[in-house]
A and B are shown apart, each in its own frame.
Chain A
Amino acid sequence: MKKIVLAAFGAALLLGAGAPARAEEPTEILNVSYDIARELYATINPKFIEHWKETSGKEIDIKQSHAGSSKQARAIMQGLKADLVTFNQVLDVQILADKGFVSENWQKDLPNNASPYYSLPAFLVRKDNPKDIKDWDDLVREDVKLVFPNPKTSGNARYTYLAAYAYALEKNGGDDEAAREFVGKLLKNVAVFDTGGRGSTTTFVEREIGDVLITFEAEVENIRTQYGKDDYQRVVPSVSLLAEFPVAVVEKVAKQRGSLDVSKAYLDYLYSKEGQEIIVSFNNRVHNEEVKAANADRFPDVRLVTVEDVFGSWAEAKETHFSDGGVLDQVFNAR
C-alpha cells in the first residue's frame, strides 16, 4: 500500500510539475475546441498526423479539449495550455486576442475571416413535416412549439435569435419594433429552454417535445444521421445567418512551447482540399470551390446575411442584444 501511495505521489509530481521544457521540439499540441466538434476533429487529427509526418518528417500527437467555447476561452486565460483554438464563436477568439493570447489580426491571418467552414441556423422537423414548416414565419404560429437552447447561455441559440431578428428586420423594412415583436413571439413558442445544444437535441428527440428544433444545419444533419434520416427532416429557411467557426493559433502558448509551426500547419490543413473534404462530410459548408462543387447537392440554396451586415459587429450585437437589460432580456421578460 505504501508503495502504491508513493508511486501515486511520484506520478502526480511528474504530471503536475514535469511539464515539457520550453521551446523544445513539441511532441504534442492541444486543440481547444467547442462542445460538439469531437467527431470532426477525431477524424481530422489522424489525417493531419500523417500529413505532418510526410511534409516535415516529424511525429506529433494532438490532444483535444471540448467544452462550451466561452468556458474554453476563460480556461485558456486562466492557464489552460492551448496551442490553437477551433471555436464556434468569434467573440471567444476576440477576447483571447484582446488579452494578448492570439494575434491582434487573427481574422486576417487566414482566409474567410479565419473561418475554414461555416454553417447556419436551420430547422429539424418530425417525419413528413406535420406542421408544414417552411420558413421563419411558420415558427411564430400559435400552434407550433419550438425547442432551442437558452440564448443567455448558448452560443448556438444566439445565432438562432439573431437569425430570426435579421429575418424580421428585413421583412419589415428595418423596423426594430416589429423585429422585437417577432422574436418575442418566437421565444414565447419555445417549449423548453435547455442550457446547450445537445440538451435541446435530447429534449426534442428523446423526450419528443416540440415540433421544431432549431440548431446549426450541420447539427441538424448529424442528428438525422444519428436518429434516423426517415424520422426527421431538414428545413432550410429562405434567409439565415452566417455562422462562422473561427480558428487561431494561441501564439502566446505556442511560442513558449515551440509549437508555432505545427500549429499553423494544422490550421492550414483545415483549409486544404483534404481537410475541407473531411469537414464537409460532417455537413459543414466549406469555401474550397472544388469540394463545394462536388457536394453541391448536399446543401440547399440559402441566402446568408452576416452579423456585420445586420448588426454592425459581434461586439455591437452583444452589447445591444445580449447584455444585461438588453433587447433579449426585454423581449424575454415580456413573454
Chain B
Amino acid sequence: MASGTLPSVAEHPQVTAFKRRQKVKRGALVLIALAFSALVMGVPVAAIFARAFQEGVAVYWTNIVEPDTLYAIWLTVLTALIVLPINIVYGVAVAWLITRYRFPGRRVLLTIIELPFSISPIVAGLCYLLIYGGTSVIGSWADEWNIQLMFNLTGIVLVSLFVTCPFVARELIPLMQVSGKDQEEAALTLGATGWQTFRHVTLPNIRWALLYGAILANARVMGEFGAVSVVSGNIRGETMTLPLQVQLLYDDYNATGAFAAATVLTLIAVITLVLRSLIEARHPHRH
C-alpha cells in the first residue's frame, strides 16, 4: 500500500469521532455516578456532622458525655462484645458442619441460617417477646426463679444474636466449599489432632473471611434498631442502645444531641468500612 494515501485506522475521522463520543459518554456516566453517590450518601453523612457541630465543639462534647448517651455507647459496645464471640463460634461451627459433612437436614440448616436476613427485625423482636416474654411458658418459668429474660440486657443480646447469626457463616461457607477438605484430610493423615488441623490448616485459610463476617456482624449489632426497640423496654440509662438513644433524643426536641450521638454510630460505620477495604486490599480475591 502506498504510504500516505490513507490515514491509519486510529486516525480515521469516524474512529476519532467515535472515540470522542465514547469519552463524553464515559465522562457523563462518571459524573452521574459521582453526583448520585454524593447526593444519596455523601451529603446526608456530612449533614449529620454539620448538624452535630452546629452549636460548636463544646456543645457537641457536652452532648456526648451526657450520662445517658455515654451509657448507651457502653451498652452498645457491651452487646457487641457478648454477641460477636458467640457469633464467631456459631458461624465457624455451622460452616464446618455444612461444608464438611453430608447429613439429613443439611439443606434445611442452610436455609434456616439465612432466615434472619429475610425476617423483618421488628417481627424478630416480637417473636422473641412471644417466646421469652412474661406471658410465655419459658418467660413465666424464668420469672418463678426471678430471672428476667426480656426488657434487659439479656433480651437485647438474644435479639442481636438472632439478627446477626447469618453473617459469619455466610462468609465462610462459599470459601470453605471452594477450598475443600483435602488439606485438612492431609493434616489428619499426618497425625494432627482435630484442633491442630483447625488451628493450623483451616483457620489460616478462612481468617480473612471470618474477620470480614465479624466486622459486618459488628456493624449490624451496633446499628440494630427494630428488634432491639421491641425488647428493650426503653428504660433510660439502662436498656437504651445507641440507635434507640438517637431516636429518643430526637423525639425530645434535642436534635443536636441526637446528631451528636449519631456521629458515634457513623464513626463506627466508617471504621467498619475502612477495615473492610483494608481486608479486601490484603486479600484481593475476596469479592
Residues of chain A whose beta carbon lies under 8 Å from any beta carbon of chain B: 4-5, 8-9, 11-12, 15-17, 19, 21-22, 30, 35-36, 38-39, 63-67, 72, 75, 77-81, 198, 226
Residues from chain B with a CB closer than 8 A to the CB of A19 are 146-148
Q: Does chain A have a CB within 8 A of B266?
A: no
The closest CB in chain A to the CB of B150 belongs to: A79
**A22 CB → nearest B CB, Å:** 7
A16 to chain B, nearest CB (A): 4
Q: Which of B211-266 contact A (CB under 8 A)?
A: 233-238, 248, 251-253
Selecting from B77-85, B107-115, B185-193, the interface stretch reads: B77-85
Bound-state Cα–Cα, A78 to B151, Å: 9
Does B95 have its Cβ within 8 Å of any Cβ on chain A? no
B253 touches A226 (CB 8 A): yes
Across the interface, name the chain B residue whose C-beta is closest to A21: B146
B116 at the interface (CB under 8 A from A): no
**Interface majority SS (helix, strand, loop, mixed), chain B:** loop
B168 adjacent to chain A (CB < 8 Å): no
B157 within 8 A of A: yes
**Across-interface contacts of A64 in B (CB, < 8 A):** 235-236
Instruction: Name which residue of chain B comes closest to A226, CB basis.
Output: B253
User: Which of these, B81, B133, B236, contacts A8 with CB under 8 Å?
Assistant: B81
Name the residue on B nearest A36 (C-beta): B251
A79-B146 CB under 8 A given contacts A8-B82, A63-B238: no
Chain B contacts of A81 at CB under 8 A? 148, 151
What are 17 A-B pairs at a CB distance below 8 A? A9-B82, A15-B154, A16-B149, A17-B147, A19-B148, A22-B146, A63-B235, A63-B236, A64-B235, A65-B233, A65-B236, A66-B234, A78-B150, A78-B151, A79-B139, A81-B151, A198-B251
With a cutoff of 8 Å between Cβ atoms, the chain A residues found around residue B237 in the complex are 63
Residues of B contacting A22 in the complex (Cβ-Cβ under 8 angstroms): 146
**Neighbouring A residues of B54 by C-beta, 8 Å:** none
Residues of A within 8 A of B234 (CB): 65-67, 72
- The answer to the question of B66 belonging to the interface, with a C-beta cut-off of 8 Å to chain A, is no
> Which among B81, B139, B235 is the interface contact of A30 at CB below 8 angstroms?
B235
In contact, B134 and A78 (Cβ under 8 angstroms): yes
B residues near A21, Cβ cutoff 8 Å? 146
Q: Does B159 contact A (CB under 8 A)?
A: no
Closest A residue, CB atoms, query B132: A79
Is A15 a contact partner of B134 (Cβ separation < 8 A)? no
Distance of A17 Cα from B154 Cα, bound (Å): 9
In angstroms, how far is the closest chain A Cβ from the Cβ of B132?
8
**Which chain A residues border B238 with CB–CB below 8 Å?**
63
Q: Which residue of B lies closest to A7 (CB)?
A: B81
The answer to whether B152 and A15 touch across the interface, beta carbons within 8 angstroms, is: yes
User: Residue B37 at the A interface, CB < 8 A?
Assistant: no
Residues of B within 8 A of A72 (CB): 234
- Collect the chain A residues with CB atoms within 8 Å of residue B82's CB: 5, 8-9, 12
> Which residues of B does A touch, CB under 8 Å?
78, 81-82, 85, 129, 133-135, 139, 143, 146-154, 157, 233-238, 248, 251-253
Collect the chain B residues with CB atoms within 8 Å of residue A16's CB: 147-149, 152-154
The chain B residue sitting closest to A33, CB to CB, is: B234
A79 touches B134 (CB 8 A): yes
Contacts of B135 in A (CB 8 A): 77-79
Q: How far is the CB of A124 from chain B (nearest CB, A)?
A: 14
A140 to B158, CA, bound (A): 49
Task: Report chain A residues within 8 Å CB of B233.
Answer: 65, 75, 80
Interface centre among A16, A19, A39, A81 (most CB of B within 10 A): A16
Cα A192 to Cα B248 with chains together (Å): 22
Q: Are the CB atoms of B139 and A38 closer together than 8 Å?
A: no
Q: Give the distance to chain B from A231, nearest Cβ to Cβ, in Å.
A: 15
Q: Whole-angstrom distance from the CB of B40 to the nearest CB of chain A?
A: 20
Distance A19 CA – B151 CA, assembled complex (angstroms): 12
- Contact in complex: B248, A79 (CB < 8 Å): no
With a cutoff of 8 Å between Cβ atoms, the chain A residues found around residue B134 in the complex are 77-79
CA distance A12 to B147 in the complex (A): 12
User: What separation, in Å, do the CA atoms of A79 and B154 have in the docked complex?
Assistant: 13
Contact of A12 among B149, B151, B154, B248 (CB under 8 A): B154
Say how far A17's CB is from chain B's closest CB, in angstroms.
Answer: 5
Docked CA distance A36–B150 (Å): 24
Are the CB atoms of B148 and A79 closer together than 8 Å? yes
Give min CB distance, B253 to chain A, whole Å: 5
- In the complex, residue of chain A having the shortest beta-carbon distance to the beta carbon of B129: A78
Q: How far is the CA of A38 from the CA of B233 in the complex (A)?
A: 15
Which residues of the other chain, A, contact B157 by a CB distance below 8 angstroms? 12
- Report Cα–Cα, A334/B229, bound state, in Å: 35
Q: Apart from A15-B154, A66-B234, what are 5 other A-B pairs with CB-CB below 8 Å?
A: A38-B252, A65-B236, A77-B135, A78-B150, A198-B251
Separation of A328 and B227 alpha carbons in the complex (Å): 30
Q: How far, in whole Å, are A79 and B130 apart by their CA atoms in the complex? A: 11
**Shortest beta-carbon distance from A270 to chain B in Å:** 19
A66, B149: Cβ atoms closer than 8 Å? no
Least CB distance, B158 to chain A, in whole angstroms? 10
Most buried by A among B129, B139, B147, B234: B234
Q: Which residues of B contact A4 (CB under 8 A)?
A: 81
Q: Smallest CB–CB gap between A252 and chain B, Å? A: 10
Closest 6 CB pairs of A and B: A79-B134, A78-B133, A16-B154, A8-B81, A80-B151, A65-B235
